[in-house]
Amino acid sequence: MEIRTDISRDAWNHFMASSATSPILQSWEWAEVKAAQGWEPIRLAVEDQGRITAAASILKRKIPYFGKAIFYVPRGPVCDFKNIKVLDFLLETIKDEAQKHKAIVLKIDPEIEESDGDKVGALKECGFKVQKKQIQPRATLFINLEKSLDELLKSFEEKTRYNVRLSEKKGVKVSRDQGVEIFYSIYQETAKRDNFLIHPESYYRKIYELMGTAGLAQVFVAYLGDEPIAAVFIFCFGSRVWYMYGASKSEHRNVMPNHALHWAVIKWAKDKGYKIYDLWGIPVKLDPQHPLFGVHRFKKGFNGDLKKFVGVMDLVYDPIFYYLFDQGLKTFQALRSLITKGKIEDSLGE
């Protein structure tokens, strides 16, 4: 076995897309998106007899003023977690990189279900500890796109089926649009109405520039006549499609444009041969007071399979600085929420 840092974009994406989870956040392009936001990508691949057997797209973030950094591997690393030899080899290489870059912690959140004791146990044996604070959603719903359209529609909850058909009767039309201008204009209204923070338009432009041109991102817009009234921003990679961002105007919500959008995405994804539509983010515990409870109520109508992943796991390299940084970050995030929303809450909380 050897570590490679010079893997080409095509070879990297082929390995990631061909893996069981095909994580979009481990794609070459996603690291480039984050690079534009101040993260430094570090790509490490384990190669055995000319074949990649494991890989990690690490995002490095410097901690201002202290000369330290954090390592984060979103939805990774990608490997056989039961193959201890390969896992240890990869982690030892990451540890060597961490020493070079003065990283205090390695954060991962691989797509491992919390009930998978073997894989979770293997990571714990390597020193990882499960964290409560999440970066990506820990729970989601998978729609099986290998079913026929008739089977899918019949599997939806009655109200969801009704709303899909109602949107058609009301004349809602869905198209794939180029660019993010229409999406973002609606997204701003959605964020203001539902009181959540969004990135500036330049962030979504960069995603579309880097990922849309590579065929890894699409924007679907629902129209009533000539007026755009709702939109979704999706990612697609390997065998999967992810619903990442959704937006809708307050006006015309009675014609159910969001149902029309997801039905259009499902039909498009099936036509392209994708196997799973990941609805990306619901509460782990179904509390009516949770900020995402309404989102869950909408998503569960499509009758996807519930998935609960292990979530963020930390491998600490510098215990003292890690504790100080962790406590300071929690305080900052709580204060930011209090200032911007008037309350301390976290949509990724349990």
| Span 121-165, pLDDT tens digits | 999 999 999 999 899 999 999 999 999 999 999 999 999 999 999
What pLDDT is stored for residue 343 in this prediction? 46
- How many Å apart are CA 275 and CA 119, to the nearest integer? 24
CA 170 – CA 182 distance, rounded (Å): 21
Contact 62, 69 (CB under 8 A): yes
Q: What confidence category does residue 346 fall into, taking pLDDT thresholds of 50, 70 and 90?
A: low
Q: In what order do the strands lie in the sheet with 313-316?
A: 2-4, 40-48, 51-63, 68-73, 103-108, 313-316, 129-130
Average pLDDT over residues 254-267: 98
d(CA 318, CA 302): 44
Q: How confident is the model at residue 194 (pLDDT cuts 50, 70, 90)?
A: confident
Extract the runs of DSSP E, i.e. beta strands, from the chain: 2-4, 40-48, 51-63, 68-73, 103-108, 129-130, 139-144, 172-177, 217-224, 227-237, 240-248, 276-278, 305-308, 313-316
Query: Which of 46-50, 90-94, 195-199 has the lowest average pLDDT?
Result: 195-199
pLDDT for position 73: 98
* CA–CA separation, 185 and 248 (whole Å): 10
Residue 29 and residue 235 in contact, taking contact as beta carbons nearer than 8 Å: no
Average of per-residue pLDDT across 207-217: 96
Nearest C-alpha neighbor of 315 from the set 117, 115, 134, 103: 103
Which amino acid is it at 10?
A: D
Q: Which residue has the tokens 């959140």?
A: 109
Does the pLDDT at position 339 exceed 70?
no
pLDDT given for residue 287 in this prediction:
82
Q: How many residues does the chain have?
A: 350
Query: Does the pLDDT of residue 176 top 60, yes or no?
Result: yes
Average pLDDT of the residues of the chain: 93
CATH number listed for the domain at residues 2-137+309-341 = 3.40.630.30
Q: Two tokens at 145?
A: 């796109």
Instruction: Say what the pLDDT of residue 340 is.
Output: 42
3-state secondary structure (DSSP) of residue 138: coil
Centre a 10 Å sphere on the Cβ of residue 244 and count the other Cβ atoms it contains: 16
Which residues in the chain are classed under CATH 3.40.630.30? Answer: 2-137+309-341, 146-274
Q: Are 260 and 246 in contact (CB under 8 A)?
A: no
Percent of the chain with pLDDT over 70: 93
Which range is least confidently modeled, 144-153, 188-197, 222-231, 309-318? 188-197
The fold of the 146-274 domain, in CATH, is: Aminopeptidase (3.40.630)
